[in-house]
Amino acid sequence: MDLSTREKNFAKYYSYITANPEYLKLKGIPRHGSTDTYEHSIRVGYAAYRLAKRMGVDPESAARVGLLHDFCLINYQDKTKEDCKSRPWYCLHHPEEAAANGELHFGLSKEEQDAIRSHMFPLAVHVPKSRLALVLTLADKKVASIEGAAGAKYFAGKVGRQLKKGLT
């Protein structure tokens, strides 16, 4: 699943985040069966930026939390890694790590950190308490559903091709 031209331009505009060597490591972490965490975060950042403008929320802040909401460098899908085995509750842990990493590398306000911590609502314990947090969780869910559908389509195509091979 490729980034759109608008999403690529958005990523260029926020290169102080997207070209950061630590942030670039997100390219190695798969997401939703059709993409990686780097591109997922750019999509969420752009979606949050646009939604924020419509909801009267600071778009710069929305872009930042969108880009940084999954800034967690542990691949929880890699079951061979000790990190993964010891921390199975991905939806509880990764927002905490993303908020801490975002603050460490780029500096975030308290409201931005809280928004990142609550982005997995209602799957995690933190409840969105600001309009910024609401924008982030909605943007993440919208993007995740599109990426998940693309992943399911890819998987179905792969299974279909294998079945066809087996049948001929």
- Contact positions toward Fe ion, by CB under 5 A? 70, 140
What is d(CA 35, CA 47) in angstroms, rounded to the nearest whole number? 16
Q: How far is the CB of 102 from Fe ion (least distance, A)?
A: 12
27 vs 161 by CB, closer to Fe ion: 27
57 vs 94 by CB, closer to Fe ion: 94
Q: Which of 3, 133, 141, 1 has the alpha carbon at shortest distance from 61?
A: 133
Q: How far is the CB of 166 from Fe ion (least distance, A)?
A: 36
For the chain, state the CA radius of gyration.
17
Q: How far is the CB of 167 from Fe ion (least distance, A)?
A: 38
57 vs 69 by CB, closer to Fe ion: 69
39 vs 70 by CB, closer to Fe ion: 70
What is d(CA 110, CA 102) in angstroms, rounded to the nearest whole number? 11
Q: Which two tokens stand for residue 16?
A: 């102080």
105 vs 141 by CB, closer to Fe ion: 141
Q: Which of 70, 19, 7 has the alpha carbon at shortest distance from 43?
A: 7
Report the half-sphere exposure of 61 (CA within 13 A, side-chain side): 21
Q: How far is the CB of 153 from Fe ion (least distance, A)?
A: 19
Q: How far is the CB of 42 from Fe ion (least distance, A)?
A: 11
Q: Per the omega criterion (within 30 degrees of 0), is the bond before 122 cis?
A: yes
